[in-house]
Chains A and B, each alone.
Chain A
Amino acid sequence: MNPETPLRLLLGPQRPVINLDSAVARSGIGDGPIGVLSAAWQEAEGDIDALQRVLKNPLSDLFLYQKAEQLFAADKSLHEAYRERQERLKEQQRLYRMRLRQLTIAARSILSTDGEPAVVAAERRHAISQLRALDQHHLRRIGKIHSRFDSLVNVDSNSLFADHVAELQEQLSHFETVLLTGGNVVVLINRLRLFGLDRLLREKNIIGWSAGAMVLCDRIVLFHDKLPQGRRDAEILGHGTGILPGIVLLPDAAGRLRMKDPLRISLFDRRFSPSICMTLDNGSLLLFAGETLRDSVAAKRMTRNGKFRRVRAA
C-alpha cells in the first residue's frame, strides 16, 4: 500500500502550538490509517492517545523500541554486540569532538579576521574544507563501526529477530503513511536501522516532526548553543536514512541556536554546503513530493552571510 509519489511532511516541535492536524490536512495525505513510530519516546513509546485526539486518521504504534528491548532481553550476544557498537560510537564521537573543537576555533578566527582579501579568502576556504574533511572522515569511521555490527548480526539465525522484522513488514504494508515523532534522535535512528526500516520507509508517505524529521536527512547534525555549560559545536551524529538528501534539518532552531550570531551561522552554512540548512521551529512546515519541495510555512534557511531567509517552494 504505497503512494505513487510519496510525500514527506516535516514539522517542528509540537509545543506550544500543535500544527500536526492542520499540516496533515493541508498536505493531501488524506485521512487513511497511519503507522506511528514513537521509538524516540523510549519507555513512553506508544502513548499516542493525545496524538490520536489531534488527528482524524486512525493511528497504530509499531512499538519499535519495545521490539528492540525484547530482542535484547532474549539474545544476550546480540545485546552485547549492540552495546559494544554503541560504546565504539561514543568513543568515536568523543575523539571527533576533540578535533572539531580546534578546527572550529581556527575557522571562526579565520572567518572573522581582516586582511588582504585574496589571501584571507583562500585561507577561509581551506579552514572550511578542513572542517568538511573531518566531517567526512567521521562519517566514514561511523560507517565502519556500523558495518562491523551489521556483519555480526544475522536476522535469519534469530527467530525472534526474524519474527519482528516480518511483523514490521507486514504491519507497514497496511499503511500508506508513517508518522515519526520527535524525541531522542539517536534512539530513533538506531531502532530504524536495526530493523531495516530505513529502507522500508522510503516508499511511504512520511510525517516527521523534530527528531522524526532529522532522521530523514542523509546526515544527522546535532546542535545546541544554549546548554547550561554554554554552546557546543554542531556535530555530525552519523548517516540518517537519506530519504531526503541534500538538506540539514534544524528543529527548534529559535530555541537552540544563537541565530543572531552571523559568524556562527555563516560557518554552519558553509560547513554543510551544498546541503541546505533549514530551520523547523514550532508552527513551521515543509512538504516534499519525493525530493521536490512543494510547500513551506515559516521555515527558514541559513545563508552564507550568516543570516536566514524564508524557504520558498518553487
Chain B
Amino acid sequence: MNPLLRKLVRKSAADSAEVDALMREMDFPLVDDTDVTFVFRGTADAVYLRCWISGLDTTRPFQALPGTELWATTIELPKGSRIEYKLEVEANGKKELILDPLNDVVAHDPFGANSVCQASGYERPEWTLHDTNSHEGSLHNRHVESEVFRGSREVQVYLPATFRENRRYPLLIVHDGVDYLHYADLKVVLDNLIHRLEIPSLVVALIQSPDRLKEYGADDRHARFLVEEVLPFMNDAYPLVDAADARCVMGASFGGVAALHAAWRYPEHFGALLLQSGSFAFSDIGGHHRGPVFDPVVRFMNEFREHSGRPVGRIFMSCGVYESLIYENRSLVPHLQSKGVDLRFEEARDAHNWQNWRDRLRIGLSWLMPGPAWLVYE
C-alpha cells in the first residue's frame, strides 16, 4: 500500500479532522515511482476508475478500506505518462461519472472535462504557458463563402504580433482550429514559439467543421473546400508566400485524416503535414471493427496505402502509445518513408487527447517550419 495512504488509513480510525488536514497537504492521485494510487473519500456502494487507455481495463474497481470512508486503487504507470480519467461512483442504485474531487488538475475537451493523472516524470512544457515576454498575436474572424458546402464558413485567422503587410508569410492550416485554441492552447504556443524564433512568423487559418466526422473522414468535398476555397481566400486576404513549401496543414484524429487526404487529392499544393494521432484505420483483408463512421476512412487509407505516391515532402507524425491508433500510425511511418517522404515520428506516453497534441506542437512545428533562431542574435 502507498505509504501516504497507509498513514491516512491509520488516522482515519482516530480523528476525521486530522484526516482532512492531512489530505489537504497531499497531491492526488498519490504517485510513488511507477505506482499511482487513486483515492476516493465518501459513502458509496462501489467506486470505479474509468479511463480509456489502450492496454488498460476501461473500468477498474476501487477497494473500500475497512474502518474508513476511503476507497483506493493502484495502477502501474510508466514514468513520463499522462492519462485522463473519471471516477464512477455507485450509490443507492445510481451510477455517476465525476471528476476526481481530490485532484485539481483537469483537462477540457469538446465533450467536457477529465481529471488528469501526471505520472512521475511528466511536466507540463513551459512553452505551453503564457509568457509575459512573448508578444501576443491576434485572432480575426473571417468568413469564406463556400460553393462546396453551400454557405458561409467561419475561419479564424491568427496573425503574428509583428505582422506587416509588406512582408510574405508562410501559411499553416489547422483542422479543428478553434478546438486547438481552446483545448491545446495553440495561440499561447504560437506566440511563444514565434517569440523564441523557433518557428517563423506565420499566418494561421483555423478551420472548424460543423460535422467533422463526416467532412474530415476523407471527404472529397472537404479537400476541395480547403484547396479551392480556403487557399485562394487566404492568398487574397493576406500576404503569403506563394509556394507549396511554405504551406503546412495539420490536424489531429479525423483532422489528421482530412489533412493527409487533402494533400493526397491535391498534390503540389502543400509542402508539409503535421499529423497528430491520425485516425488512419485500414484493413489488409476483410472489414474493420471501428464502426460505420470509419468506413470512408478505411476505404481511403486502403487506397492510399496502395497508391500513396509522395503526397508532400515532409511529414511530422505523433501518436500516444496509450491509444489504439498507435498501430496504424506506426505502420504508416515506413510506408511513407519508402516513398521518399522526409518523416519524423514521435510517440508519447499519453492517449488520444488535446494535451497530448499540445505537448507535441513545439517539436512538430519547429521541425516542419524552422524559425530563424539560428541566424538571429538579438
Contact = CB atoms under 8 A, between A and B. Distances in A.
A211 B377 contact: yes
A210 B374 contact: no
Interface stretch (A51-59, A103-111, A164-172, A181-189): A181-189
A13 B362 CA distance: 24
A227 B162 CA distance: 22
Contacts of A112: none
Contact of B167 (A14, A43, A229): A43
Given A43-B166, A228-B198, A228-B367, A184 B374 contact: no
A14 B378 CA distance: 7
A43 B378 contact: no
A43 B198 CA distance: 19
B167 to A, nearest CB: 5
Contact of B377 (A43, A44, A182, A229): A182
A229 B374 contact: no
A16 B131 CA distance: 14
A211 B372 CA distance: 13
A76 interface: no
Contact of B373 (A182, A183, A210, A224): A224
Given A43-B164, A184-B372, A229 B363 contact: yes
Interface in A209-244: 210-211, 214, 222, 224, 227-229, 232
A251 interface: yes
B1 interface: no
B377 A214 contact: yes
A182 B378 contact: yes
A96 B367 CA distance: 21
B377 A183 contact: yes
A228 B198 CA distance: 7
A211 B162 CA distance: 20
A232 B370 CA distance: 13
Contacts of B362: 228
Interface majority SS (helix, strand, loop, mixed), chain A: mixed
Contacts, number: 52
A252 B376 CA distance: 11
A182 B375 CA distance: 11
A301 B7 CA distance: 55
Which of B198, B366, B367, B378: most chain A CB closer than 10 A? B378
A44 B161 CA distance: 12
Contact of A186 (B366, B373, B375): B375
Contacts of A214: 377
A184 B376 contact: yes
A224 B374 contact: yes
Interface in A170-216: 182-186, 210-211, 214
Interface string B345-377: 000000000000000001100110010111111
A117 B170 CA distance: 54
A211 B366 CA distance: 22
A210 B378 contact: yes
A222 B378 contact: no
A16 B132 CA distance: 12
Given A43-B167, A184-B372, A227 B377 contact: no
Interface string A67-99: 000000000000000000000000000000000
A312 to B, nearest CB: 24
A217 B249 CA distance: 41
Contacts of B363: 228-229
B376 A222 contact: no
B357 to A, nearest CB: 16
Interface of B: 133, 162, 164, 166-167, 198, 362-363, 366-367, 370, 372-378
11 contacts: A44-B164, A182-B377, A183-B376, A184-B372, A222-B374, A224-B373, A227-B374, A228-B366, A229-B363, A229-B366, A251-B377
Given A15-B133, A42-B167, A210-B377, 13 more contacts: A13-B378, A14-B378, A16-B133, A43-B166, A44-B164, A182-B378, A184-B376, A185-B376, A186-B375, A228-B362, A229-B366, A251-B377, A252-B378
